[in-house]
Amino acid sequence: MKKTVPKTCQEESLFFRYNYMMSKFFALIPAAGFGSRMENNLPKQYLPLAGRPMIYHALRTLCRSPGIASVFVVLAPGDSEWLRHEWSEFSGKLVVLNCGGATRAMSILNGLKAASDASSIGGDDWVLVHDAARPCLSEAQLDKLMNELADDAVGGLLAVPLTDTLKRSDVSSRVEYTESRKGLWQAQTPQMFRYKLLVDALSRPGSLTLTDDASAVEALGLHPKLVLSDARNLKITYPQDMILAELILRAQQGGYGECG
Site string for ligand CTP, 104-133 (x = CB under 6 A): x--x-----------------------xxx
* Residue 218: closest CA among 190, 191, 237: 191
User: Do 193 and 224 meet the contact criterion of CB atoms below 8 Å apart?
Assistant: yes
Binds ligand CTP (CB under 6 A): choice among 24, 25, 28, 45: 45
Q: What stretch of H or E contains 119?
A: none
User: Do 227 and 157 meet the contact criterion of CB atoms below 8 Å apart?
Assistant: yes
**Residue number with CB closer to ligand CTP (45 or 141):** 45
For ligand CTP, which residue has the nearest CB?
33
Binds ligand CTP (CB under 6 A): choice among 2, 8, 36, 260: 36
| Contacts for 103-106: CB closer than 8 Å, 24+ residues apart | 103/208, 103/209, 104/30, 104/33, 104/131, 104/211, 105/202, 105/207, 105/208, 105/209, 105/210, 105/211, 105/213, 105/216, 106/208
Does residue 210 belong to the site contacting ligand CTP (CB under 6 A)? no
Binds ligand CTP (CB under 6 A): choice among 100, 156, 190, 224: 100
Does residue 190 belong to the site contacting ligand CTP (CB under 6 A)? no
Does residue 19 belong to the site contacting ligand CTP (CB under 6 A)? no
Q: What stretch of H or E contains 95?
A: strand 94-97
Does residue 59 belong to the site contacting ligand CTP (CB under 6 A)? no
Q: Min. distance of Cβ 226 from ligand CTP in angstroms?
A: 19
**Residue number with CB closer to ligand CTP (33 or 66):** 33
Rounded CA-CA distance 101/243 in Å is 29
**Residue number with CB closer to ligand CTP (37 or 204):** 37
Binds ligand CTP (CB under 6 A): choice among 1, 83, 102, 220: 102
Site string for ligand CTP, 136-175 (x = CB under 6 A): ----------------------------------------
Number of C-beta neighbours around residue 52 at 10 A? 20
* Residue 43: closest CA among 55, 61, 25: 55
Quote the Cα angle for 209-213-227, to 5°.
Answer: 145
Number of C-beta neighbours around residue 75 at 10 A? 25
What torsion, rounded to 10 degrees, do the Cα atoms 145, 150, 154, 160 define?
Answer: -10
* Count of residues touching ligand CTP (by CB under 6 A): 22
Point out which span in 37-45, 146-154, 173-181, 249-257 binds ligand CTP (CB under 6 A).
37-45
Residues at the contact surface with ligand CTP, assessed by CB under 6 A: 30-37, 44-45, 74, 100-104, 107, 131-133, 235, 237
